[in-house]
Amino acid sequence: MTPLQPGDALLIVDMQNDFVANGALAVPGGQEVIPVLRQYLGLFAEHGLPVIATRDWHPPDHCSFHTQGGPWPPHCVAHTPGAQFPEDLRLPLSTVVISKGTDPVREAYSGFQGTPLHDRLRTAHIVRLFIGGLATDYCVLETVRDARTLGYEVCLLVDAIRPVNVLPDDGRRAEEAMVQAGAIPLCLERLAA
């Protein structure tokens, strides 16, 4: 594992109030990820490396909502408190925020789907992404898959993700799928060493 270097970026997936404790679609253990991500944020700041944060930014009638026949309760509706990043995450002011799921008739689990993320990364000459956030078995999984398809090296921050686990093994299976796609599992101790 090569140490942090130019061309690296931290990509935080959907760390939003609705996905953590007491949120509309709270991920079990989602809150536990925040202090770990803060440590990663500190490391990337020390190295002067960029941070990108994706967010669900849904219209009130988004197709993924129960009210529209979708699988999820309404969550992360644009401009609502549930769509905001938790204050204790303490994202730096320089964070590039990528909004996804903005089209009412399209689901978008991946941070690359229907967003300028790939273009922003290419413009910044990013080649390796360190990815953590929520949830392992949905938005993290699809973002990692797309990143690998687009040719990025991916380090999966296994201590900074948590699954929904609609089915009991969904999170484990998602991690295996990401590793099979070429993501390198990594935890803070290894990166900070």
Asked if residue 61 belongs to a domain, the reply is yes
| Confidence at residue 90, expressed as pLDDT on a 0 to 100 scale | 96
Spatial separation of the C-alpha atoms in residues 8 and 186, rounded to whole Å: 14
Measure Cα distances from 188 to 28, 69, 185 in Å: 21, 40, 11
- Percentage of residues of the chain with pLDDT beyond 90: 95
Query: Averaged over 165-183, what is the pLDDT?
Result: 96
Residue 181 predicted with pLDDT over 80? yes
Asked if residue 123 belongs to a domain, the reply is yes
Asked if residue 134 belongs to a domain, the reply is yes
State phi, psi for 144 to the nearest 5 degrees. -65, -45
Measure Cα distances from 108 to 111, 158, 170 in Å: 7, 22, 19
| Confidence at residue 190, expressed as pLDDT on a 0 to 100 scale | 86
Asked if residue 117 belongs to a domain, the reply is yes
Question: How do beta strands 184-186 and 51-56 pair?
Answer: unpaired
Active site residues: 14, 100, 139
Asked if residue 1 belongs to a domain, the reply is no
Nearest CA among 65, 99, 75, 63 for reference residue 23: 75
Asked if residue 107 belongs to a domain, the reply is yes
Asked if residue 2 belongs to a domain, the reply is no
Spatial separation of the C-alpha atoms in residues 33 and 63, rounded to whole Å: 28
Contacts of 66 (CB under 8 A, 6+ apart): 72, 73, 74
Query: Averaged over 44-70, what is the pLDDT?
Result: 96
Instruction: Give tens-digit pLDDT for 66-98.
Output: 999 999 999 999 999 999 999 999 999 999 999
What is the chain's mean pLDDT, rounded? 96
Question: How do beta strands 128-134 and 153-162 pair?
Answer: parallel
Query: Averaged over 145-166, what is the pLDDT?
Result: 97
What is the extent of the structural domain holding 14? 8-192
**Letter for the amino acid at 2?**
T
Split at pLDDT 50, 70, 90, the class of 192 is confident
Which CATH number goes with the domain that contains 170? Answer: 3.40.50.850
Instruction: Give tens-digit pLDDT for 93-128.
Output: 999 999 999 999 999 999 999 999 999 999 999 999
Instruction: Give tens-digit pLDDT for 8-38.
Output: 999 999 999 999 999 999 999 999 999 999 9
Contacts of 143 (CB under 8 A, 6+ apart): 11, 13, 54, 109, 110, 111, 112, 131
Residue 1 predicted with pLDDT over 70? no
**How many structural domains compose the chain?**
1
Asked if residue 185 belongs to a domain, the reply is yes
